[in-house]
Amino acid sequence: MNLADSSTLASTLTTRGYRRVAEEAEADLIILNTCSVREKAEDRVYGRLGEIYKFKKRKPHLKVAVVGCMAQRLGPELSQRVPHVDYVLGTDRVFELPDVLEGLEGTSPIMTAFGHENMDLIEPIKETPYSGFITISRGCDNYCTYCIVPFVRGREREHSDDYIVDAAKKMADEGVVELTLLGQNVNSYKYNDTDFPGLLRRVARETGIRRIRYMTSHPKDLSKRLVEVMAEEPKLMPHIHLPLQSGANRILNRMGRIYTIEHYLKIIDYIRSKLEYVSITTDLIVGFPSETEEEFELTLEAVRRIGYDSAFMFRYSVRPGTTAARYADDVPEEDKIRRLNRLIELQQSIAYERNQREVGQVRESLVEGYSRRSKEHMRARTDGNKTILFPAGDVAAGTVLPIRVTSADAFTLHGEVAGVH
Ligand code: SAH
Ligand code: SF4
């Protein structure tokens, strides 16, 4: 979502006559769009601000803006802590940066009040000429006890289905092949009578977009109908990112996640019974307050049983102001690290095994360009959202090709183009 917001902000600035430069050293304005979800993300922003200070010393007219979640969370405290920050704009005010830069009436260098967001300012954005994002809802109403997002991004609010369908049509006309619909919990999307499966169906049937993805699903709101729509609409890519967080019911309950592991497993079984091919990915947290070794083992057991294609795995990080911040952060750091390493090791072996199952299959893949390592290979994204490398040929980025998987490791598939397209 931050990537999408950054691109939207960049395009807003370009429309107002600003020009993007390749190097920080050339810039007259540096913007950091920030994340607060874990302490480490905020530490990195302080690190970056330290580096930027060098530029500012050499070039006093350089302006520095910190926008997004960390700006929202800290407000004026941020510019007190880091005096060379000129602008601090919270999550509802990000897209007003051009107005602030021009000193328009009613703006000020530090703005974090909620309720000022103009959803119309949030232009859908093309990440590349052939792929795009549309934020369907902003904010979150879930209050998972560890999570800062509802505090820094505010209550959930939705774009209308008509707005989203029109934006998708416009993107398709401009050549976008793959579209990702974004929200903290897309499954709770509701605009008048349109729910999320209804929205997906409209985008699939009424627009020329060929490949549709979405992020993120909350297990408590994922409906059977969503899975059925995915099974019925070939344009919906067979990938579901379904954060589990923990395999222990006591921890899930304390996290405020509302579902049990048994319910989650039922959803997984249902998905796999309806979709012939699907890749399933997740987010997991280890070392949540009071998590015992046995409860951590339950997470390992769930991960083994479910067989994720990949996972984002995190050590619990205290976020001030959240409910969990009132619990004792009592899992020692070395235990958190050990648990995380064990989990990563297990997940890697599972990802390897899952990827081996793809060998021999043909997967419709969207070419993204050359491999990062060499021009001998090109990189594409499979329908299941995996990276696949294949020998470079005369194909342009943005082409969709059937690629036969010939080998795989835990992170990447390798293959060759299957037949002429
Ligand atoms: N809205 C999405 C993503 C939220 S943030 C969802 O509900 O799934 C992305 C991930 O960061 C979360 O799924 C969680 O695994 C992790 N995360 C959030 N807060 C965290 C914290 N305080 N410590 C460690 N990981 C956290
Ligand atoms: Fe955070 Fe939970 Fe909302 Fe996701 S659903 S953003 S984890 S509060």
218 lines ligand 2 (CB under 6 A): yes
Residue 10 alpha carbon to ligand 1 centre in Å: 26
Judge whether residue 3 has pLDDT over 80.
yes
Strands (DSSP E) contained in 44-184 are: 63-68, 87-89, 110-111, 125-128, 131-135, 137-138, 157-158, 178-182
**H or E segment and range at residue 124:** none
Q: Top-level CATH class of 362-417?
A: mainly beta
Residue 107 alpha carbon to ligand 2 centre in Å: 30
pTM of this structure: 0.94
Beta strand 110-111 with 29-34 is unpaired
Q: Do domains 119-356 and 362-417 have the same CATH topology?
A: no
DSSP code at position 4: H
Q: Each residue of 82-117: pLDDT tens digit? A: 999 999 999 999 999 999 999 999 999 999 998 777
Q: Are 222 and 267 in contact (CB under 8 A)?
A: yes
- Could you count the other beta carbons within 10 Å of the beta carbon of residue 152? 26
Q: Which atom of ligand 2 lies closest to the CA of 257?
A: 2
String of DSSP letters for 171-232: HHHTT--EEEEE-TTGGG-EETTEEHHHHHHHHHHHS--SEEEEE---TTT--HHHHHHHHH
What is the CATH superfamily name and number for domain 2-111? Methylthiotransferase, N-terminal domain (3.40.50.12160)
All structural domains of the chain with their residue ranges: 2-111, 119-356, 362-417
Residue 378 pairs in a beta bridge with: 370, 390
What is the CATH superfamily name and number for domain 119-356? tm_1862 like domain (3.80.30.20)
φ/ψ bin of 68: left (φ > 0), alpha (ψ from -120 to 50), beta (otherwise) = left
Q: Which atom of ligand 2 lies closest to the CA of 141?
A: 3
Q: Is 28 helix (H, G, I), strand (E, B) or coil?
A: coil
Beta strand 362-370 with 377-382 is antiparallel
Q: Is 135 helix (H, G, I), strand (E, B) or coil?
A: strand
Q: Which atom of ligand 1 lies closest to the CA of 284?
A: 15
Give every CB contact of residue 342 below 8 A, 6+ residues apart in sequence. Answer: 300
Q: Find where tokens 């050359």 sit.
A: 370
Q: Each residue of 125-169: pLDDT tens digit? A: 777 889 999 999 999 999 899 999 999 999 999 999 999 999 999
Ligand closest in space to the Cα of 324:
1
pLDDT band at 420 (very low <50, low <70, confident <90, very high): low
Q: Are 75 and 68 in contact (CB under 8 A)?
A: no
Cis peptide before 216 (omega within 30 of 0): yes
Residue having the nearest C-alpha atom to atom 4 of ligand 2: 184
